[in-house]
């Protein structure tokens, strides 16, 4: 039985833009500056760059190489790719379930948050929040939009739900048209536009003067100083090192399973060394240069050295949807700059969310040999149903629970598994040869040692620290309010259901393959 021809990338630029689009998300512009400012400022960049060179870049090359290798066996997701590496082990494919489970769980809540950025783009252009001048009123505006509270700004969550529907349909529409016709086209358009928006906003921030002449120290130079002047005492804290490593995972989209799937559409002769490094460099430019040059420095100028401490630690949502609109409201042409900010976030969000959907769609296409149209329909229905608890139980901690399991714990666990498989099961010598097939540059030889020893040890250390410090309080919901525990328990049951369903699908897919092979004999 002949399988249908798999999709492919149209150009090298397309795959680079798509992987960069997957990596460049809300975390680049919200999470990174907040983490840097609240974890030692410039000192945070020391563990950040150490984690980049010892975790991020090795994992990036591992995933590009594994994905391309698995694609040669008609596998585009981790179960099939892991099985291709270790065919004698009949259980290894089940470990690969994490590479579908993680992206799907993240998509469930990420697409809803992404819809807020589209909504606020429209609100900015319309001047809907233009009259709000303090943190309390802007916070109230956000909470009313989310449906968490009722006030004069919104009468229930209907507006938020409509924007969610639009965003969800846009995501499904893009993935419906496939790798080349949908995702690649989107990213080749969205990535340059995102950088244009970011550069315009950065240029405006750099030209900010001191708004209060009685406080000349509230200037942009001191704003950058707050973010970048190092507090080296912070390096004594294990938390800072773990936060830096976590940010690298988030920012490069490694350990999720998306890069594996994207790289599976490459041919054997396609370069993964330079292409992967280019995609990672594009992401780091967006994060370290653009992401660090907009919110925190501008907030310092308008709120000063005392309030900025609280702002930096106020959380991603407050930074993006409360503090930044307040800052932009104080500028001439506030509606234009507000639109640029939220449209930038929307572009970053949608290029990431379409990538999160691809592993599940590719799994259905490759392992069940069904059409993309049918695979997207199945994914769309399942994802839409699973998004509903996120929307209606936001205030009960559902998003935080999904983010922990899908976007934190399983992310590190999956990265550990694929690193061990690559370096120790596949074998470092064979892996080193596979990395360099069709390569336009040689990976520095020191990375042979790093990938085999340092990266897995670093990952085991992170997992060990988490188990030592966090395991019991999280499992027993020690920090969860009593009234929210039923929602968290329900979320965990749903997550377990998703994981078991994927396990059953993997079992069915491999049973069908065995039966087909027996018939062919």
Mean pLDDT, residues 449-457 taken together: 96
The SS3 of residue 230 is strand
**Whether the predicted pLDDT of 100 surpasses 60:** yes
Structural contact between residues 352 and 188, judged by C-beta atoms closer than 8 angstroms = no
Question: Token pair for residue 38?
Answer: 């609240």
Q: Over the stretch 339-378, which tens digit does the pLDDT of each residue have? A: 999 999 999 999 999 999 999 999 999 999 999 999 999 9
Q: Are 142 and 315 in contact (CB under 8 A)?
A: no
How many other β-carbons are positioned within 10 Å of the β-carbon of residue 122? Answer: 15
SS3 sequence of 67-126: HHHHHCCCCCCHHHHHHHHCCCCCCHHHHCCHHHHHHHHHHHHHHHHHHHHHHHHHHHHH
pLDDT at 1: 44
pLDDT of residue 53: 95
Beta carbons within 10 angstroms of residue 425's beta carbon? 15
Average pLDDT over residues 416-424: 96
- When mean pLDDT is compared over 114-128, 208-222, 290-304, the highest value belongs to 114-128
Q: What's the mean pLDDT in 18-22?
A: 94
Q: How far apart are CA 263 and CA 12, in angstroms?
A: 11
Taking the C-alpha atoms of residue 90 and residue 112, their distance in angstroms, rounded to an integer, is 37
Would you state the structure tokens that stand for residue 259, as one six-digit string?
């890069």
pLDDT value at 211 more than 80: no
Least confident segment among 169-183, 327-341, 482-496 = 327-341
How many residues are present in the chain?
A: 521
Q: How confident is the model at residue 179 (pLDDT cuts 50, 70, 90)?
A: very high
Question: Which residue from 479, 449, 495, 487 is spatially nearest to 53, judged by alpha carbons?
Answer: 449
Residue 517 pLDDT: 80
C-alpha distances in Å from residue 165, one per residue of 105, 114, 161, 433: 18, 11, 6, 46
- For residue 41, which phi and psi values (nearest 5 degrees)? 60, -125
What pLDDT band is residue 305 in, cutting at 50, 70 and 90?
confident
The residue with tokens 């988030």 is 250
**pLDDT tens digit sequence for 465-478:** 877 877 788 888 98
Closest listed residue to residue 256, CA positions, set 386, 352, 138 = 352
DSSP state of 486: H
Task: Tell me the C-alpha distance between 492 and 482, whole Å.
Answer: 16
CA distance 28 to 223: 18
> What is the spatial distance between Cα 123 and Cα 126, in angstroms, rounded to a whole number?
5
Distance, CA of 101 to CA of 382 (rounded, Å): 13
What is the share, in percent, of the chain residues with pLDDT greater than 70?
Answer: 99
Residue 101 CA to its chain's centroid (Å): 14
Based on the number of CB atoms within 10 Å of its own CB, is 324 exposed (0-12), middle (13-18) or buried (19 or more)? buried
In the predicted structure, residue 3 carries a pLDDT above the cut 70: no
CA 169, 171, 176 angle in degrees (round to 5)?
90
Closest CA to 44 of 54, 29, 34, 53: 34
Confidence at 36, pLDDT banded by 50, 70, 90: confident
508/456 Cα distance (integer angstroms): 32
Which domains, from first to last, does the chain contain?
12-520 (1.10.4160)
Residue 191's CB is within 10 A of a number of other CB atoms, namely 22
pLDDT, tens digit, for every residue of 378-407? 999 999 999 999 999 999 999 999 988 988
**What is the spatial distance between Cα 124 and Cα 102, in angstroms, rounded to a whole number?**
33
Q: Which helix (H) or strand (E) holds 41?
A: none
Residue at token pair 């270790």: 86
Contact present, 191 and 278 (Cβ < 8 Å): no
- Mean pLDDT over each residue of the chain, to the nearest integer: 91
CA-closest candidate to residue 198, choices 132, 91, 303, 290: 290
**Helices first, then strands: H and E counts in the chain:** 28, 0
Calculate what percentage of the chain has a pLDDT beyond 90: 64
pLDDT of 2 higher than 50: no
Q: Are 229 and 41 in contact (CB under 8 A)?
A: yes
And the tokens for 27?
A: 């975390």
Q: What is the mean pLDDT of residues 257-273?
A: 94
User: From CA 301, how far away is CA 286, in angstroms rounded?
Assistant: 22
The H-or-E segment that residue 429 falls in is helix 428-435
Provide the pLDDT confidence category of residue 4 given band limits of 50, 70 and 90: low
pLDDT, position 501: 97
Q: What is the pLDDT of residues 56-84, one digit of tens each?
A: 999 999 999 999 999 999 999 999 999 99
């Amino acid at each position: 039985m002949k399988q249908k021809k798999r999709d492919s990338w149209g150009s090298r630029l397309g795959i680079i833009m798509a992987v960069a689009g997957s990596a460049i998300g809300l975390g680049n512009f919200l999470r990174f500056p907040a983490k840097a400012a609240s974890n030692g400022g410039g000192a945070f960049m020391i563990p950040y760059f150490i984690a980049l060179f010892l975790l991020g870049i090795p994992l990036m090359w591992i995933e590009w190489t594994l994905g391309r290798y698995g694609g040669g066996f008609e596998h585009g997701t981790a179960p099939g790719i892991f099985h291709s590496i270790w065919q004698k082990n009949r259980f290894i494919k089940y470990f690969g379930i994490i590479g579908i489970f993680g992206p799907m769980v993240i998509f469930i809540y990420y697409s809803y948050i992404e819809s807020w950025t589209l909504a606020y783009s429209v609100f900015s252009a319309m001047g809907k929040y233009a009259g709000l001048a303090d943190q309390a009123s802007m916070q109230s505006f956000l909470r009313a939009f989310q449906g968490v509270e009722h006030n004069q700004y919104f009468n229930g969550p209907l507006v938020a739900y409509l924007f969610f529907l639009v965003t969800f349909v846009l995501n499904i529409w893009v993935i419906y048209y496939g790798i080349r016709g949908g995702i690649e086209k989107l990213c080749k358009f969205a990535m340059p536009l995102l950088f244009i928006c970011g550069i315009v906003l950065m240029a405006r921030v750099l030209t900010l003067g001191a708004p209060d002449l009685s406080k000349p120290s509230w200037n942009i130079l001191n704003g950058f100083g707050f973010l970048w002047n190092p507090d080296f005492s912070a390096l004594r804290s294990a938390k800072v090192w773990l936060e830096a490593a976590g940010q690298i995972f988030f920012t490069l989209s490694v350990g999720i399973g998306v890069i594996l799937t994207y790289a599976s559409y490459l041919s054997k002769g396609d370069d993964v060394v330079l292409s992967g490094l280019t995609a990672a460099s594009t992401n780091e430019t967006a994060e370290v240069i653009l992401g660090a040059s907009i919110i925190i420095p501008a907030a310092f100028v308008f709120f000063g050295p005392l309030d900025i401490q609280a702002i930096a630690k106020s959380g991603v949502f407050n930074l993006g949807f409360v503090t930044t609109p307040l800052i932009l409201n104080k500028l001439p042409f506030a509606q234009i700059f507000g639109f640029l900010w939220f449209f930038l976030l929307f572009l970053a969000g949608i290029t990431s969310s379409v990538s999160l959907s691809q592993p599940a769609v590719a799994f259905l296409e490759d392992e069940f040999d069904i059409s993309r149209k049918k695979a997207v329909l199945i994914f769309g229905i399942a994802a839409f149903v699973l998004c509903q608890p996120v929307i209606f139980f936001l205030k009960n901690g559902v998003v935080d629970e999904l983010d922990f399991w899908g976007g934190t714990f399983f992310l590190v666990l999956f990265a550990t598994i694929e690193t061990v498989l690559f370096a120790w099961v596949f074998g470092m010598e064979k892996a080193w040869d596979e990395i360099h097939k069709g390569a336009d540059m040689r990976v520095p030889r020191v990375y042979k040692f790093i990938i085999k020893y340092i990266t897995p040890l670093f990952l085991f250390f992170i997992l060990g620290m988490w188990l030592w410090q966090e395991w019991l309080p999280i499992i027993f919901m020690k920090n969860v309010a009593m009234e929210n525990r039923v929602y968290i328990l329900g979320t965990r049951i749903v997550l377990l259901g998703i994981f078991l369903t994927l396990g059953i699908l993997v079992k069915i897919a491999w049973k069908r393959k065995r039966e087909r092979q027996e018939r062919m004999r």
